[in-house]
Chains A and B, each alone.
Chain A
């Protein structure tokens, strides 16, 4: 089922809302909307970045997740200490698949978990001494690390530890940057504030460290910001940007290093992929260093070509030619991918519920495959994200902000998409309902999905999910029509024979 009319979609929202108590219904109604491309401002149709209702199942993360998991965590040559109880760090360890090159435990630390493992006595007497000791131990055991960030977990803020003082002192002693990050999980309504706090701490503690130092600049220096190299995404993007003649000075923060981040203020243009998590630092660099920033989208050949041209427009003819050359080189390959998968995927419908940039960025990639996105939503977006989404989505499609477990299930039951793109928490719920799901947080352990190379993998994965033979075996044999079951068994026997 697809192509609901505006009235039908509105009725669907009302029906789903009916089970809530009145107060909750009133609140949740503001977060669900039918897309209307004529609306200029998203706030007229949808409310976002508000506290989740107690009692509903939200899939949001916390500020610590936004800072340690997203922004700081992938910086590979720094050690990120999860300061507080052991669980926050351990259960999120290496879950985001930020690929990197390096020897883990020697010069790179991306998949390792460093924690101060708070105990009762640390809560009672304060954990500053423990932190100081731990920083010394890190320096002793991992001398090749380039710096440390102290990622606070909830108790640090609650008991009022002074991690800034400890960090400053230890940083002076070992002559390396130690960055205290006040990203206690209880701050803000979602991981979004964690991104902001992490961006601010990069601004305050890292970014200006090489100001005034010599740098061999070229007119073609750019940085890739907001690409976390999930499954190798940043590499798939980087080769395209380099192929068109630009020099990538730094990569944030997937497969990134501290030195790259310190050198970012020297570039000519910041290329911003994940707007939600890194716009803060881009705005700062625009103001302080006069570096313009540009949002780009590397999902699907249509959007890639658009983005490459938009990037090239900031440079001279040499780069513009480079962009055209790259597009021309990959065009036949992409046509082959589309020729293979489009006939299989044409007309299929998709519903998305993820975070960051994907609810709007991947729409183009699905459309390239002939698929249609009939519902999309963000976990932690702000109004500016919805402003950008409204234009990308078709009219009368469904938008949901911070959807609850119940709402998402109901929407998907009614709208019956052919594919759902969401996370691991949703995956088995929907697969048991008989609806294929691809994890769009970690690309379901596949990837990369960015860039031209990524699109081929994306197309294959989507086809693999939808065309999996298990979906035709949802009805148990005893509930099947006799003749149908006979035919299936016959087929099965033939295969065995």
Chain B
């Protein structure tokens, strides 16, 4: 499990940040992104994939979350 931070960029896209590795990347896909369910599998621009426990959409961004690494790019 890794601590990650999800933030919204100026254009409204999701951005992923892994403090431990100073890895900042765009999120290209988010499994669930609706009003009642948010999270699931996220895919990064660099090819990596993480899994966030599906939950209610966060009230505000950025938010720190626990995520499981499915497939790291490196």
Pairing of A with B: yes
Instruction: Mark A residues whose CB is within 8 Å of B.
Output: 40-41, 43, 49, 192, 196, 280, 283, 286-287, 290, 382-384, 387
Give Cα distance in the complex from A49 to B5, angstroms. 20
27 A/B residue pairs, CB under 8 Å, sorted by A: A40-B45, A41-B25, A41-B45, A43-B46, A43-B73, A43-B74, A49-B22, A192-B22, A196-B19, A196-B22, A280-B19, A283-B5, A283-B7, A283-B17, A283-B19, A283-B62, A286-B7, A287-B7, A287-B62, A287-B63, A287-B64, A382-B22, A383-B22, A383-B23, A383-B24, A384-B23, A387-B24
Contacts between chains A and B (CB distance < 8 A), count:
33
Evaluate contact between A384 and B24: CB separation under 8 angstroms.
Answer: yes
* A287 neighbours in B (Cβ, 8 Å): 5, 7, 62-64
Chain B: interface size category: 10 to 19
Closest chain A CB from B21 CB (angstroms): 8
Give Cα distance in the complex from A412 to B38, angstroms. 52
* B23 neighbours in A (Cβ, 8 Å): 383-384
Instruction: Mark B residues whose CB is within 8 Å of A.
Output: 5, 7, 17, 19, 22-25, 45-46, 60, 62-64, 73-74
* B5 neighbours in A (Cβ, 8 Å): 283, 287
Give Cα distance in the complex from A59 to B45, angstroms. 32
* A387 neighbours in B (Cβ, 8 Å): 24
Give Cα distance in the complex from A196 to B7, angstroms. 19
* B62 neighbours in A (Cβ, 8 Å): 283, 286-287
Give Cα distance in the complex from A406 to B22, angstroms. 29
Give Cα distance in the complex from A283 to B18, angstroms. 11
* B60 neighbours in A (Cβ, 8 Å): 290
Residue on A nearest B63 in the bound complex, by CB: A287
Evaluate contact between A41 and B46: CB separation under 8 angstroms.
Answer: yes
* A43 neighbours in B (Cβ, 8 Å): 46, 73-74
Residue on B nearest A286 in the bound complex, by CB: B62
